[in-house]
Chains A and B, each alone.
Chain A
Amino acid sequence: MSCPDWSELARDRRCDDAATPNEPSAWRAAVEHLDVCDECRDDALAADPALLFRRLPTMEADAATIEEMRSGVAALRRAQRLTGTVETAAAPERGHGLHRWWGRAAAAAILAAGLLGFRPDVRDVSRMPSETRSVEAPVPLAQLEASAVSTMDEIDRPNASVYHFDEDDLGVIVVVDADLDV
């Protein structure tokens, strides 16, 4: 397509700017042309300076971005199952709403790994909230209950709750204790 007559196009368009539901097809074709043509950019901007914003940068989503998004959403859903609520309102500072949760979960997981000597099959099922039990890995309950007492003795924290999540190839143990000073 050769460069269109922008001044004429802009004049026609402005006549029914607020009246027609969609742009005239000639305008749409011209704008698509502008997206790939540098020659008539000056003429187009003179006809309608707001066309400048056709050149706003784009944001592509490659495979890594999509995977990051998928795991981020999965983490939010896990957090929701774990705590019953997730802070999703506009964060007071950029990204901190989500990162704060991750920071806490990571600190708790590291602490738990240290305390338990990372023994993922050992935890006190009787202390877990019912919604957590429903997503447990398929480990026999009897075996868990037999080993649970010694584990909690090692922790020696009467107000602690231990959560264990097994999903895909990732196992996470989280100790929640309001008395804990991290």
Chain B
Amino acid sequence: MELAYSAARQRASWSERSDRDLLDGIRAGDEMALDELIVRKTGPLLQLAFRILGDREEARDVVQVAFFKVWENRERFDDRWSPNTWIYRIVNNLAIDHLRSRQSRERQAEPVRQHLRHVADSRSRRRLSSLGESEVMGIFRELASELTEKQRSVFILRELEGLSSQEVAEVVGCRESTVRNHLFNARRVLRRSLLARYPEYAGAYAGETEAEA
């Protein structure tokens, strides 16, 4: 009885501590610090993994393994890093690995996918603004396959998750100026691909596309 009470008290005390304190606790082998990190970070990490992978189940698997790796590699955590950056980096790398594995499997089914895409395109020519969330995700999964891994990560982290350029640079492991280049190129590739599929938007955008190129 007393153990349960003290465990609850210890758990509550972790909830008031900073992310860095949690990482220090984890490094010292405190399992409750890991529990608190899971409570705190599951949401944003699931969101990141989901946006990279486009699949909820795969995102859950990746984040679960990421927390396990945080624990396994706890002694390797470098104090110079922000805890958030370190964890985002682990999730980003795992998700990209997962994506590579999936893409090598999907390559075999590419002719079928192209046919299905053609059928879907010819059936529905709706305006971009009227597409539902799942349709937007379908388009993103398809168009993002034209991005390099770094471009995809940078676009998601910077444009969708709102990390600063410096944080993104730490997560993907490159310089800040390189992040800006990746972001610029990612936006350009996505815009061009979207305009190729939805030429009705090209009228408003055409002049700027030329300037960009």
- B136 near A80: Cβ-Cβ < 8 Å: no
- With A52-B128, A52-B131, A59-B59 as given contacts, are A73 and B204 in contact (CB-CB < 8 Å)? no
Question: Contacts of B34 on A, CB cut-off 8 Å?
Answer: 73
The answer to the question of B159 belonging to the interface, with a C-beta cut-off of 8 Å to chain A, is: yes
Question: Contacts of B39 on A, CB cut-off 8 Å?
Answer: 66, 70
Nearest residue (CB) in A for B95 is A90
- A54 near B160: Cβ-Cβ < 8 Å: yes
The answer to the question of A65 belonging to the interface, with a C-beta cut-off of 8 Å to chain B, is: yes
Query: Could you tell me the distance in whole angstroms from the C-beta of A167 to the nearest C-beta in chain B?
Result: 10
The answer to the question of B111 belonging to the interface, with a C-beta cut-off of 8 Å to chain A, is: no
Q: Which of B87-140 contact A (CB under 8 A)?
A: 94, 97-98, 100-102, 105, 127-129, 131, 133-134, 136-137, 139-140
CA distance A97 to B57 in the complex (A): 13
Interface hub of B55, B58, B60, B127 (most chain A Cβ within 10 A)? B60
The answer to the question of B72 belonging to the interface, with a C-beta cut-off of 8 Å to chain A, is: yes
The proximity string for B residues 65-102 relative to A, scoring 1 for CB distances below 8 Å and 0 otherwise, is 10111011000000000000000000000100110111
Question: Contacts of A41 on B, CB cut-off 8 Å?
Answer: 129
Q: Which of B71, B133, B181 contacts A57 (CB 8 A)?
A: B133
- B201 near A49: Cβ-Cβ < 8 Å: yes
- A45 near B38: Cβ-Cβ < 8 Å: no
The answer to the question of B24 belonging to the interface, with a C-beta cut-off of 8 Å to chain A, is: no
The answer to the question of B19 belonging to the interface, with a C-beta cut-off of 8 Å to chain A, is: no
Question: Contacts of B58 on A, CB cut-off 8 Å?
Answer: 94-95
Nearest residue (CB) in A for B203 is A46
Question: Contacts of A178 on B, CB cut-off 8 Å?
Answer: none
Question: Contacts of B191 on A, CB cut-off 8 Å?
Answer: 48-50
Q: Which of A13-21, A112-120, A122-130, A147-155 contacts B (4 or more CB under 8 A)?
A: A13-21
The proximity string for A residues 53-86 relative to B, scoring 1 for CB distances below 8 Å and 0 otherwise, is 1111111110001101110110011001000001
- B72 near A80: Cβ-Cβ < 8 Å: yes
Q: Which of A7, A53, A89 contacts B190 (CB 8 A)?
A: A53
Query: Could you tell me the distance in whole angstroms from the C-beta of A62 to the nearest C-beta in chain B?
Result: 9
Nearest residue (CB) in B for A41 is B129
Q: Which of B6-32 contact A (CB under 8 A)?
A: none
Q: Which of B35, B63, B194 contacts A50 (CB 8 A)?
A: B194
Question: Contacts of A19 on B, CB cut-off 8 Å?
Answer: 180
Nearest residue (CB) in B for A73 is B67
CA distance A97 to B63 in the complex (A): 14
- With A53-B160, A56-B137, A70-B35 as given contacts, are A46 and B65 in contact (CB-CB < 8 Å)? no
Q: Which of B131-154 contact A (CB under 8 A)?
A: 131, 133-134, 136-137, 139-140
- A45 near B129: Cβ-Cβ < 8 Å: yes
Question: Contacts of B131 on A, CB cut-off 8 Å?
Answer: 52, 55
Interface hub of B160, B184, B201 (most chain A Cβ within 10 A)? B201
CA distance A155 to B140 in the complex (A): 56
**A-B pairs with beta carbons under 8 Å apart, 27 shown:** A21-B165, A21-B176, A22-B165, A45-B129, A46-B201, A46-B203, A47-B204, A48-B205, A49-B198, A50-B194, A52-B128, A52-B136, A53-B136, A54-B160, A56-B137, A56-B140, A59-B56, A65-B60, A66-B38, A69-B60, A73-B64, A73-B67, A80-B72, A88-B65, A90-B94, A90-B101, A94-B58
Binding site for B on A (CB under 8 A): 7, 10-11, 14, 17-22, 38, 41-42, 45-50, 52-61, 65-66, 68-70, 72-73, 76-77, 80, 86, 88-92, 94-95, 97-98
| Nearest 9 CB-CB pairings of A with B | A46-B204, A90-B101, A61-B43, A57-B133, A18-B184, A59-B50, A90-B98, A49-B194, A41-B129
